[in-house]
Amino acid sequence: MRAALVLGAAGLLTMVVGTFLPWLRSGEVRRNSYASFGVLRRLIGFHGVPEALVRGWPLLGAACALVVVVAAAGLLRAAALLALVVAAWAAAVSGGAVGREPAANVRVERLGPIVTITGAVATAAAAIVILVSRVWLGRATRDRTAGRAV
């Protein structure tokens, strides 16, 4: 369980670091994810779910911090579920960025999105391990308690 918590924390940190690495290049200027989405909104626009994911992107760091706070409060199952949502969000946005074609002399820099995806995968793996172990441990505890009652 401790290894999963460390992996999850490292994944959350990696996701956040990835957002500050280069995501787009226009000429010689490299932009992180926060500056990139403003440019992309003007160039190609977003609609529907992608627009909501991108508009909320500046809150990704706060969402990662919330996962840590919930875990520190001892609510590991809730933290793991929230971590899965945050990881899916980060992976979806990062994957969408990596899959973009260049537009109007703007080129995708893959470093930021790939680091963010790596963090999302680590976070999701840790969350799954925590959820499975909590369910398994919960069943084992119930089984032991039921055995004593008999």
Whether pLDDT at 150 is above 50: no
Handedness of CA 8, 14, 19, 25 (dihedral sign): negative
**pLDDT, average across residues 83-98:** 93
**pLDDT, average across residues 104-133:** 93
Whether pLDDT at 131 is above 80: yes
32 vs 74: CA distance, rounded Å: 34
The answer to which of 46-55, 79-88, 116-125 has the lowest mean pLDDT is 46-55
Percent of the chain at pLDDT > 70 equals: 83
Note down the domain range covering 7. 2-149
Chain centre to alpha carbon of residue 145: 37
- Are 37 and 113 a contacting pair, CB within 8 Å? no
**How big is the CA angle at 40 (ends 120 and 59), to the nearest 5 degrees?**
45
100 vs 94: CA distance, rounded Å: 10
Chain centre to alpha carbon of residue 111: 16
Whether pLDDT at 62 is above 70: yes
**pLDDT, average across residues 107-113:** 90
What's residue 10's pLDDT? 97
Q: Is 54 helix (H, G, I), strand (E, B) or coil?
A: helix
Whether pLDDT at 137 is above 80: no
The pTM assigned to this predicted structure is 0.84
**Number of domains present in the structure of the chain:** 1
Place of tokens 């199952």: 77
Handedness of CA 138, 5, 73, 58 (dihedral sign): negative
Helix, strand, coil percentages for the chain (3-state, nearest 5): 75, 5, 15
Of residues 73 and 97, the one with the higher pLDDT is 73
Token pair of 40 as six digits: 């992309």
